[in-house]
Chains A and B, each alone.
Chain A
């Protein structure tokens, strides 16, 4: 017979091993803490600034203007690409989302070292909360884009809208997977941050954000599939298909073909690659996270 604890009537919990994490599942079980961490990030990011959250609009708009003036007007890409402003902005906001998630989640473990060294929490909380914070910053930018699209006569189909959501999920999964991988590696070698900075620099140019994919196809020829294997390329193209195409008239659409097999082949491939990266990222993260507290 086992003795009941002095409280009486309380449920006796079994012996368990402290600090044994269940990975990403643990994070969503502790929804309340996740919510507070996200709220903290949002409150803290623009503390003491006059414009506050407006910076989340100002920065992408400025970035957009620079590209539009330099590429659209000086290099005259708007001559060959109708509605170039919408083309450009729909790609930029998706890449910005990727950049924010990957950049911040890579730093999230090292930045929260005080907490990680002292209290056990599912460590995945930190990369995941950066994902949610970035998603919250992504929303207002999407609203600006939708506003611009509506002015240009945007009339998307249900399928196109669903594809846009899928592209967003692909980017979120991809960036979180890479963020887990590089965030964990960053604890051991701070070089990881610089590798990520480099990836972030490349990503704008490695997907058809500023130019159109047909230019790449001409240049790469039979190796074009390598370019298509980049999930960011597919996601950005889906955004173009969802936001930019529905604003074009019949003549313009004929001159701007959709990538072959975008929805039927490349979207599932991109999702698959992103899920594999997330799986690998989580696996590496779990393996490395056991020693975070002593390595930080």
Chain B
């Protein structure tokens, strides 16, 4: 008997990156002719046969040291990257608090950016209209909403970007190192909002190096090392295992 439906399922996902050493057609041709094809690129595996199932409503923390493949996995789930082998499948709309503000344009007003960024994150015109006041209120932008965002302080910029992202209301939320937004009161507000989303039954998939924080937000932890899942279990166990490993590494 299946108790909850799958939200994300990864099967034997493999992703390798090609580090190109040239962007010029001429060099590429010359190297190709001289038989130095091997010099043109280097290949490394970011993910090796990762299989992972996340059910609806689960809150999962993806943990690991730098270069373990966390962000790559997140990008595969969001569809930005495609796997070289294996399958990634998701149910419902996926949206990310991934590098918020990616869709911002400096020369547009805050208002224009709310619409543009909202649409980029998959909201419809009607949804944005309904959410607009709530977005501005959460971001604490107030009267500056009609000012061009290039005049915003970095805090205002991030608050607005974060506010749009949390209002997109997808089924699956991907969160990458975003919890370090703004000053402390705003951080607390963000974390409260994320917990609220978790309680509302949204699927959360969090990447963070802030181990204390993820153990309060998430229930389940997944530890990645060199592109492999090495541990999958309750978040506290995974966090202490990661602490043990990083202590051993130094």
Contacts from A to B (Cβ < 8 Å): 1-3, 5-7, 12-20, 30, 32-33, 36-37, 40, 43-44, 47, 114-121, 188-191, 290-291, 293-295
- Rounded to whole angstroms, the CA-CA distance of A40 and B115 in the bound complex is 11
Give the chain B neighbours of A293 by CB distance below 8 A: 75, 80-81
- Rounded to whole angstroms, the CA-CA distance of A121 and B28 in the bound complex is 30
- B201 & A7 in contact (Cβ 8 Å cutoff): yes
Give the chain B neighbours of A14 by CB distance below 8 A: 91
Q: A15-B6, A18-B89 given. 19 additional CB < 8 A pairs? A: A3-B4, A5-B5, A6-B56, A7-B201, A15-B9, A17-B87, A18-B88, A18-B94, A19-B79, A32-B125, A43-B107, A43-B112, A115-B102, A117-B102, A119-B80, A119-B96, A190-B24, A191-B24, A294-B17
Give the chain B neighbours of A33 by CB distance below 8 A: 119-120
- B81 & A19 in contact (Cβ 8 Å cutoff): yes
Give the chain A neighbours of B57 by CB distance below 8 A: 5-6
Q: What are the nearest 4 A-B pairs in CB distance?
A: A19-B79, A18-B79, A120-B79, A118-B102
- Rounded to whole angstroms, the CA-CA distance of A3 and B105 in the bound complex is 43
- B51 interface residue per 8 A CB criterion: no
Query: What is the total number of residues of chain B having a CB less than 8 Å from a CB of chain A?
Result: 50
Contacts from B to A (Cβ < 8 Å): 1-6, 9, 17-18, 20, 23-26, 28, 56-57, 75-82, 87-92, 94, 96, 98-99, 102-103, 105, 107-108, 112, 115-116, 119-121, 124-125, 171, 201
User: Which of B1, B57, B82, B90: most chain A Cβ within 10 A?
Assistant: B82
- B17 & A20 in contact (Cβ 8 Å cutoff): no
Tell me, rounded to whole Å, the shortest Cβ–Cβ distance linking B188 to chain A: 26
Who on chain A is nearest to B103 by CB?
A115
- Rounded to whole angstroms, the CA-CA distance of A30 and B119 in the bound complex is 9
Tell me, rounded to whole Å, the shortest Cβ–Cβ distance linking B158 to chain A: 15
Who on chain A is nearest to B123 by CB?
A32
- A189 & B23 in contact (Cβ 8 Å cutoff): yes
- A16 & B91 in contact (Cβ 8 Å cutoff): yes
- Rounded to whole angstroms, the CA-CA distance of A293 and B25 in the bound complex is 20
Give the chain A neighbours of B77 by CB distance below 8 A: 18
**Given contact pairs A19-B80, A118-B98, A189-B24, A3 touches B5 in the complex (Cβ within 8 A):** yes
Give the chain B neighbours of A20 by CB distance below 8 A: 79
